[in-house]
Chain A
Amino acid sequence: GAVVSQHPSWVICKSGTSVKIECRSLDFQATTMFWYRQFPKQSLMLMATSNEGSKATYEQGVEKDKFLINHASLTLSTLTVTSAHPEDSSFYICSARDLGHSSNRPQHFGDGTRLSIL
């Protein structure tokens, strides 16, 4: 089945550091990738929709200058958390949808990145 690879799976770093998270679709092309954040015991919160070759669409309340998204190819999207602070500590999950817009193709999730800012 479709596989989405997310890297790294765990990051611990000091406050002020910028962290890049990669999301790759391994066996299909994804024009659209999604970035979610999930705090403990809470549901998934969509941060932004990443579109290949164009600017990402950010959800209300998400700072585009802090969470930089680049979707340079049909198989790779990156999320960079710039100047991360302890309140940015969370579980970040990417997902990708198949190239076709057929609605019976679910979003396939990466394994997530647990970010801890000290």
Chain B
Amino acid sequence: GQNIDQPTEMTATEGAIVQINCTYQTSGFNGLFWYQQHAGEAPTFLSYNVLDGLEEKGRFSSFLSRSKGYSYLLLKELQMKDSASYLCAYMDSNYQLIWGAGTKLIIKP
């Protein structure tokens, strides 16, 4: 079956750090993706993890634990433009993306 969960909404302060968690349950796994989606726009690719560990890309980092079915997206030095929805998705055995519902991140000054 398809089961992937992430918080609906999070609030953080400009300049701070925020961690968005994502858990999933699947029998077939080919990697986990994070996308950013601003209101009214299409999603844009942020990161991909297929092996356990942390992948760092500038202010954004993504972590994966396959044994725990767990990933997180870490955003550092938050900026107002980071206000968006963050979507996690895992790729199943058919190479199809299974999407979470998205986490709306609100950045306050």
Q: Residues on A close to B: CB < 8 A? A: 6, 34, 42-44, 46, 49, 91, 93, 97, 101, 103-104, 106-112, 114
Contacts and interface: CB of A to CB of B under 8 A. Distances in A.
A101 B94 CA distance: 10
Contacts of B97: 34, 107
Chain B contact surface mostly: loop
B43 A109 contact: yes
B96 A49 contact: yes
A91 B96 CA distance: 21
A43 B87 contact: yes
B42 A93 contact: yes
On chain B, which size bracket covers the interface? 20 to 34
B11 to A, nearest CB: 16
**Which of A93, A101, A106, A109: most chain B Cβ within 10 A?**
A106
Interface stretch (B14-22, B58-66, B68-76, B98-106): B98-106
B100 A43 contact: yes
B96 A106 contact: no
Contacts of B44: 109
Given A93-B42, A103-B95, A107-B45, 7 more contacts: A6-B42, A34-B97, A44-B43, A44-B87, A91-B40, A107-B97, A112-B41
